[in-house]
Structure 1
């Protein structure tokens, strides 16, 4: 539980002065120690109670973390504190069907002296159904706030581990001082990842081992029942694995199989048909070719809320050779097909929700907008974030829509949710309001380029914030044909002044600028991704630092300086 905090402490020492933690500073009360009041009303806002419902001007009354009413003529108790919502749009809080937010990886067990690679102990082979995601979760992880900033209020957390990692749990992304657990042991997390250097080392081996564990669990359960009623029988072997698997074999909980490819989807569905357990397909990335198989299986579906990287497409040059153009065309088609897959699920009538496992929170809204641009309806997108995951997780009575009696989990945005300029200003979790900074959408600089993009070549003096405090440096960008190169200086982690690193993956899309660089500290390389908006010589960005979270990064173009050649 304390591992992320330890990492952060080490990181602060290594990169002193470069980054600073301020995500909590955006909140009026990030700890939730002082909720505004037990009773308050957000008045005269545009409220979207559920997917497919038109927005209506209404007041939302909240008391003790529950929605007490939604309407235009509510009678407010005397103790009610009112919050003007005239310019705000209210939506149900998002629900992640599966997420690794706040999850830390457990320590690998030591191998016994008599270890045999062809028959390893279950724990070493990655078969740990008794583990709970709750034991690996920390609400203090900065990724919790990162996910909440983009509208998520509830998440089904999945444990980290091997082929059978353990049991999932459903938690609120709320205050550090609240009881955020909603349900424990809600599904069994499994995947086709084999064990390195031992059995089962392949996907086929995983399938065989899963069958063995499943069948032995059923057999043990049957023998245990007979042993308790019939005298003279040999005592059945009861292991932690078989005990923990009984919730699956009895149909109490589903198996949540991570299946990123079409082949893995077919394998999971074949296992489900053979054994009869309840199935949730999660982490789907390639699935268009098996939509009929998925629909026939009746399995619940969680799509990975991520789209392929489009940097290679943006880097394509018009003067390329015919051979390169043909290759580029295939790359472009693969990209277009990938981001249109979600709309194919909608067309096929397959309800789905989203998984955020392995997804950067800062990329989520871009992914949603790209899916919508490629034929996914806004109604289906909102359903995949609210009512669908609520149904899949058994939360429909308490979450997924804005109704009297349900948890006060809300998103308050500055515009309709999927509008290009919309920003999330407040997120309400279990009745606690978290405030986030919003900025006017900046227009492209009048000194931009002929293609409508802004001017970025030159030297940028920047400031950044991190757990270690404020840092400064110079971001130097040079234009090289249709692409960009450059360097960035930062405080050397060794404490010997400034260090310099090349920047890579520089992408300018209109007024949006992103780039990457690597910080080396004590022999460890840390990848840093920076993304933000450029306007009139200023750069307001967010810096994502590996597993340590996201931090502010602000730069000013210095007209008196010339970027190094």
Structure 2
């Protein structure tokens, strides 16, 4: 005998007291600011644990912000909140290197009355290695949410400034209730940005000044060490600049050199060879002609996650004059080369990651898919967003893949990540879940008569799984003109026998079916949303019960009714 859904399923839990004991803190929180639970089990999802690994049907168990296990036979604790992952694709959360997200610009220092443009103070000249990105970062910046919405869970933030802006930090894009700080000092941020109207005002001047600061730091460090052990030595002049540069000279942290062009890349690598510091090249935009130089340097590589604007390409006309056509051909060739660069970086065997500095978050997935269409493999694309980024930023022990013991940073999408219609539905950061609205792949049709439409009218036997076990019931759907109506029967939560509720919002979009109904439990109206796919008289999807979670929902169209049609 089949168990009724409300007797052994989720509604039984509501009546038995689960509702009253959890309603105080189990409210839906799409912002992710409050954990509904510290323990989650995302069941029966398609999980991609790392780049190059095939997707597997598995459960991911999370507790206290850490991944506890990935597999099919996990022992789930009773307190685990179940999330039905049947229709979800799970990937490691993205990692952004050398980002400007959440960074506010510091106030420019005032020039003193005795200012000399040929010999300005370090701070005025843009040499501020003591500054920290943490002091300039605001998690409330709208860009933080925008970046998280497209899958980024960890960012390395750079302070704003001049040629030596300060120290980068690595933070989680997690709850506002946490500091989210992972690494406070992850690199020194430098660029070829000269100081207007003073020295160093040119890229060559910046290189000379960088060498001077580096050498003076090294010399001051050596003198300081001797000064404390040898009598009679002149006291070394220790400055904030030299103190802040010591970790770079000692090789403890890398220099994140912004180098967008081939010339800047060569200049940064020249400085690296000369002084021997660890180097990460960031913001690369033009690099195809120096791939061999980059590879030989051993530097970390952060490519700007952006593609050139194609407006000039789209504006080209077939009836243009010959000289215009020649110009257009050169523009098109340059454009195509830019799109193919990332693929050539992969072909050269150079591990790289991405930076979103200066990039609009809404353009990120388009840029990613365009790079893939122009030669970059999906494996390399995912590695650049996850494992490569973690390795370059030296956090690969705690992030970058879905493994036991790593931070619970996950992306849950509606399809394979780089598919054209794939959408990110949930992002988990540090064990906090952020929910995002997904849109129908195409305009919904209630008629069910469009291309690819399937039959749904009739009586369906359905089953559902919940923390209390399996349950079943009957769903009846009738066609009413261009719309659908129907009912669903279940055991009344009040214990007064059978109850019937009308279904509403019935939408058939190709093979995608969704509907809703309401159940009154102890005076509280609970909305139940069901959504899934119909295929040859079968239905597979999920049942979301108000604010209490989602559970597998399957149905079979009664064969007798099929025969009668």
Residues in 2 aligned to 1:342 and 1:58: alpha-carbon distance in whole angstroms: 32
1:109-136 CA distances to partner (integer Å, 9 max, x unpaired)?
0000100000000000000000000000
Q: Who wins on radius of gyration, i.e. which is larger?
A: 2
1:134-192 CA distances to partner (integer Å, 9 max, x unpaired)?
00000000000000000000000001000000000000001111120000111000000
Residues in 1 aligned to 2:221 and 2:42: alpha-carbon distance in whole angstroms: 53
Aligned counterpart, 1:220: 220
Aligned counterpart, 2:340: 340
Contact 2:29–2:36, Cα closer than 8 Å, also in 1: no
2:208 is the alignment partner of 1:208: yes
Aligned counterpart, 2:167: 167
CA displacement at 1:30 relative to structure 2: 5.0
How many corresponding residue pairs?
Answer: 419
Range with greater deviation from structure 2 (243-252 or 435-444)? 435-444
Aligned counterpart, 1:324: 324
2:439 is the alignment partner of 1:439: yes
Q: How does 1:8-19 map to 2 (within 5 A)?
A: none
Contact 1:129–1:166, Cα closer than 8 Å, also in 2: yes
Residues in 1 aligned to 2:329 and 2:88: alpha-carbon distance in whole angstroms: 42
Q: How does 1:501-520 map to 2 (within 5 A)?
A: none
Secondary structure at the aligned position of 1:340 is classed as helix
Secondary structure at the aligned position of 1:405 is classed as coil
CA displacement at 1:29 relative to structure 2: 2.4
2:56 is the alignment partner of 1:56: yes
Contact 2:34–2:175, Cα closer than 8 Å, also in 1: no
Residues in 2 aligned to 1:277 and 1:28: alpha-carbon distance in whole angstroms: 49
Residues in 2 aligned to 1:30 and 1:219: alpha-carbon distance in whole angstroms: 54
Aligned counterpart, 1:530: none
Residues in 2 aligned to 1:311 and 1:30: alpha-carbon distance in whole angstroms: 37
Q: How does 1:35-114 map to 2 (within 5 A)?
A: 35-114=35-114
Q: How does 1:19-418 map to 2 (within 5 A)?
A: 29=29, 31-418=31-418
Q: TM-score by structure 1 length?
A: 0.73
Contact 2:98–2:256, Cα closer than 8 Å, also in 1: no
Contact 1:31–1:177, Cα closer than 8 Å, also in 2: no
Aligned counterpart, 1:430: 430
CA displacement at 1:298 relative to structure 2: 0.4
Secondary structure at the aligned position of 1:350 is classed as coil
1:5-35 CA distances to partner (integer Å, 9 max, x unpaired)?
xxxxxxxxxxxxxxxxxxxxxx952553421
CA displacement at 1:311 relative to structure 2: 1.1
Contact 1:28–1:435, Cα closer than 8 Å, also in 2: no
Residues in 2 aligned to 1:295 and 1:120: alpha-carbon distance in whole angstroms: 37
Q: TM-score by structure 2 length?
A: 0.73
Contact 1:126–1:162, Cα closer than 8 Å, also in 2: yes
1:278-301 CA distances to partner (integer Å, 9 max, x unpaired)?
000000000000000000000000
1:200-233 CA distances to partner (integer Å, 9 max, x unpaired)?
0000000000000000000100110110001111
Contact 1:32–1:177, Cα closer than 8 Å, also in 2: no
Secondary structure at the aligned position of 2:41 is classed as strand
CA displacement at 1:242 relative to structure 2: 0.3
Residues in 2 aligned to 1:285 and 1:428: alpha-carbon distance in whole angstroms: 30
Secondary structure at the aligned position of 1:121 is classed as coil
1:492-522 CA distances to partner (integer Å, 9 max, x unpaired)?
xxxxxxxxxxxxxxxxxxxxxxxxxxxxxxx
Contact 1:192–1:207, Cα closer than 8 Å, also in 2: yes
Residues in 2 aligned to 1:332 and 1:366: alpha-carbon distance in whole angstroms: 19
Contact 2:28–2:36, Cα closer than 8 Å, also in 1: no
Residues in 1 aligned to 2:318 and 2:414: alpha-carbon distance in whole angstroms: 39
Residues in 2 aligned to 1:436 and 1:319: alpha-carbon distance in whole angstroms: 46
Secondary structure at the aligned position of 2:260 is classed as coil
Residues in 2 aligned to 1:168 and 1:362: alpha-carbon distance in whole angstroms: 24
Residues in 2 aligned to 1:359 and 1:28: alpha-carbon distance in whole angstroms: 31
Q: How does 1:457-496 map to 2 (within 5 A)?
A: none
